[in-house]
Amino acid sequence: MTEPEPYSEELVAAIRARIRDVPDFPKPGIVFKDLTPVFADGPLFRRLIDELAASFDRAGVSAIAGIEARGFIPGAAVAASLGVGFHLLRKPGKLPSRVVRQTYDLEYGQDALELHHDAFEPGLQLGLIDDLLATGGTMAAALELVRSQGAEVPLVAFVVELGLLGGRRRLPKERVSPVVRF
């Protein structure tokens, strides 16, 4: 499987400069990578969306799915840029119609993602996006969920990858495209 094209060095440097590190959040010992300054910088956010959209376009996607909640921000913007549909992967109890669910383990318990049972037709070329790849559990569950409904996933993308946490190992067969790696 071919690797996605890298993002421009100028974009990567600009995003790195805008990410805010928040020590001890959400618990002691964690350094949270806050992307809200990236999203709040209009010209930078537009460049980010343009480059993400180009990656998904090259991968041949016909729709985008974002993971609740921060994945909705770049996901919806990329879908709008490409003129394709946007699908919501939500936490339990948030979708109003019948759903399919995928549970996954966390270091302190379990969580789940849900998708409307009739969100798309089998064979859909679906790009998945989230803000950050850490341990990979959420994206692995998202992949299992959308594939259980017949989607094909030519590319998964993240604004940030925290390489030390090894999330990519949980996505061994995927074309993974992070913009910024730490």
The catalytic site residues sit at: 70, 107
Q: Is residue 89 within 8 Å of 113, Cβ to Cβ?
A: yes
Name the helix (H) or strand (E) containing 143: helix 137-148
For 108, how many CA atoms within 13 A lie in the half-sphere containing its CB?
1
> By C-alpha distance, which of 114, 7, 126 is closest to 67?
114
Tell the burial category of 24 from Cβ atoms under 10 Å away from its Cβ (0-12, 13-18, 19+): exposed
For 106-140, letters b (16+ CB in 10 Å) and e give eeeeeeebbbbeebbeeebbbbbbbbbbbbbebbb
Dist CA 63 CA 89 (whole Å)? 13
